């Protein structure tokens, strides 16, 4: 089954242009079996079940949360303790306690993608990353992100392989036509959130970058001429 696990809408993310009514048409156009809304904040917006019923399409919901070690995609948790700041190790402990799953969102964007966008050779090394605390705190990495350059995607995949972490893919869509550009492919059947969380914690799945070659170029999605 094919899912996009990282989508923002204008109702939960100020920088998104996606309306709820656009989610399913674009998801179906991308031949997805389901999607996951991941707004920034402390809790789900709790619209997934209603939208699923309204449109007859599986819509799940997670949370994208900022920590000292970067943004985390949290699944299977309805809300996160409201603190001024929550460290990644604290969030990890909470997610484990609550039976959820946590993946690092676009973990090396600032070091790889942003460097390449500026024409600079990335200085991050595999050995350095494998010794970072992040590796021991997450279930896996968002390997394929719709705004990451190919070198970033490839580096994330190698990190997962070397560290024994799982890999997911998500478009990080803020525009409707980005939905499905990067996905997670599950061997398990998923029909509800319980299936989804169980698959993330014990199933077989992998990330896939479905972008066309030109869409992998730095700043492609920033060009408003491509918005449609």
- SS3 of the chain: the string is CEEEEEECCCCCCCCCCCCHHHHHHHHHHCCCCEEEEEEECCECCCCHHHHHHHHCCEEEEEEEEEECCEEEEEECCCECCCCCCCCHHHHHHHHHHHCCEEEECCCCHHHHHHHHHCCCCCCCCHHHHHCCHHHHCCCEEEEEECCCCHHHHHHHHHHHHHHCCEEEEECCECCHHHCCCEEEEECCCCCCHHHHHHHHHHCCEEEEECCCHHHHCCCHHHCHHHCC
Displacement of CA 220 from its chain's centroid (Å)? 19
Q: Please give the class, per CATH, of domain 2-213.
A: alpha beta
Q: Which two tokens stand for residue 218?
A: 């730095």
Sketch the domain layout of the chain as residue ranges. 2-213
* SS (HEC) of 90-113: HHHHHHHHHCCEEEECCCCHHHHH
The fraction of the chain above a pLDDT of 70, given in percent, is: 94
- Mean pLDDT, the chain, rounded, equals 93
Distance CA 126, CA 190 (A): 34
Percent of residues, the chain, with pLDDT higher than 90? 89
Token pair for residue 126?
């595999």
Tens-place pLDDT, residues 2-54? 999 999 999 999 999 999 999 999 999 999 999 999 999 999 999 999 999 99
Condensed to tens digits (0 to 9), the pLDDT of residues 112-146 reads 999 998 999 999 999 999 999 999 999 999 999 99
Nearby residues of 197 by Cβ (< 8 Å), 6 or more positions away: 75, 76, 99, 100, 101
Q: Does the pTM of the predicted model rise above 0.85? A: yes
**pLDDT, mean of residues 166-170:** 99
Using CB atoms within 10 A of its CB, is residue 6 exposed (0-12), middle (13-18) or buried (19+)? buried
Give the count of beta carbons closer than 10 Å to the beta carbon of residue 78: 12
pLDDT band, residue 86 (cuts 50/70/90) = confident
- Residue 226 pLDDT > 70, yes or no? no
């Amino acid at each position: 089954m094919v899912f996009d696990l990282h989508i923002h809408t204008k109702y939960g993310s100020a920088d998104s242009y996606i309306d709820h009514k656009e989610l399913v048409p674009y998801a179906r156009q991308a031949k997805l079996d389901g999607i996951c809304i991941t707004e920034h904040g402390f809790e789900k917006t709790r619209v997934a079940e209603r939208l699923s019923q309204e449109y007859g399409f599986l819509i799940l919901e997670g949370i994208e949360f900022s920590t000292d070690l970067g943004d985390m995609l949290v699944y299977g948790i309805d809300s996160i303790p409201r603190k001024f700041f929550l460290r990644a190790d604290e969030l990890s402990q909470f997610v484990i306690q609550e039976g959820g799953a946590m993946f690092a969102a676009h973990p090396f964007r600032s070091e790889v993608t942003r460097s390449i966008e500026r024409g600079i050779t990335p200085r991050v090394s595999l050995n350095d990353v494998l010794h970072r605390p992040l590796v021991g705190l997450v279930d896996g990495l968002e390997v394929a992100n719709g705004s990451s350059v190919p070198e970033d995607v490839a580096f994330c995949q190698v990190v997962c392989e070397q560290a024994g972490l799982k890999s997911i893919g998500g478009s990080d869509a803020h525009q409707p036509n980005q939905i499905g550009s990067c996905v997670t492919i599950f061997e398990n059947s998923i029909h509800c959130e319980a299936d989804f969380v169980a698959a993330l914690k014990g199933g077989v799945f992998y990330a896939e970058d479905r972008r066309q070659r030109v869409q992998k170029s730095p700043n492609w999605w920033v060009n408003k001429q491509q918005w449609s």
